[in-house]
Amino acid sequence: MLETLSLFLGIWLLFLLLAIYYLSQSSDGSLSRHFRDSVSEHLSAESRAKVLLREMLSENQYQQLIKFGYLEVASPTFDSRVYRIPGSGGLVKVYERGCAVMELCLQPAEPLPDGDVVVMHKLMIEGNEQEYLQKANHFAPGIISLRCQHL
């Protein structure tokens, strides 16, 4: 099973590399120019997101995100609740008195850089926690990761 999966991934990667090569070889260069522009735009969005993230977080929050890969935001409504926002996508984990009580899934309608998503969660929690909780999909703690282990 593992060998078959490895072979499939290897063939898929080879196909992807060949597709990129052939697209970059168009006669007028329009596809390769479009591809370069798209990559440049993505990198620019990522750079702007990092700047915004740095501006929106305190030094301690930023260091926590860099060191641990998540940002903890205290609930403005519930005294013992903390939201743990992942820095690179994934579910927001909710802790009460240090114990995981639920995980939340809330994504923007359009793809955004990771830094913008972190800022989005932080501002929504701090600005209107009740609306944030209403919009998010709720899961029992660890249930999503348990499901993924069996795939």
Query: Do 140 and 67 fall within a single domain?
Result: yes
Check whether residue 130 and residue 81 sit in a common domain. Answer: yes
Tokens 């850089």 label which residue? 113
One domain for residues 29 and 102: no
Is 148 found in the same domain as 130?
yes
pLDDT in tens, the chain (151 residues): 556 656 656 676 666 665 666 666 655 555 556 666 656 665 688 888 899 999 999 999 999 999 999 999 999 999 999 999 999 989 999 999 999 999 999 999 998 999 999 999 999 999 999 999 999 999 999 877 544 444 4
Return d(Cα 18, Cα 106) in angstroms, integer: 36
> What was the pLDDT predicted at 148?
45
Looking at the structure, tell me whether residues 105 and 128 fall in a common domain. yes
Clarify whether residues 26 and 78 are in a common domain: no
Tally of structural domains, the chain: 2
Asked if 114 and 100 count as a contact pair (C-beta separation under 8 A), the reply is no
Q: Which range of residues forms the domain containing residue 26? A: 1-56
CA-closest candidate to residue 124, choices 136, 141, 115: 136
Q: Where does residue 108 rank: exposed (0-12), middle (13-18), buried (19+ CB within 10 A)?
A: exposed
**Beta strands 99-105 and 92-96, pairing class:** antiparallel
Please check whether residues 1 and 66 belong to one and the same domain.
Answer: no
Whether residues 69 and 89 share a domain: the answer is: yes
pLDDT of residue 89: 86
- Which DSSP letter does residue 112 get? -
43 shares a domain with 2:
yes
65, 57 contact by CB (below 8 A): yes
Same domain, 146 and 74: yes
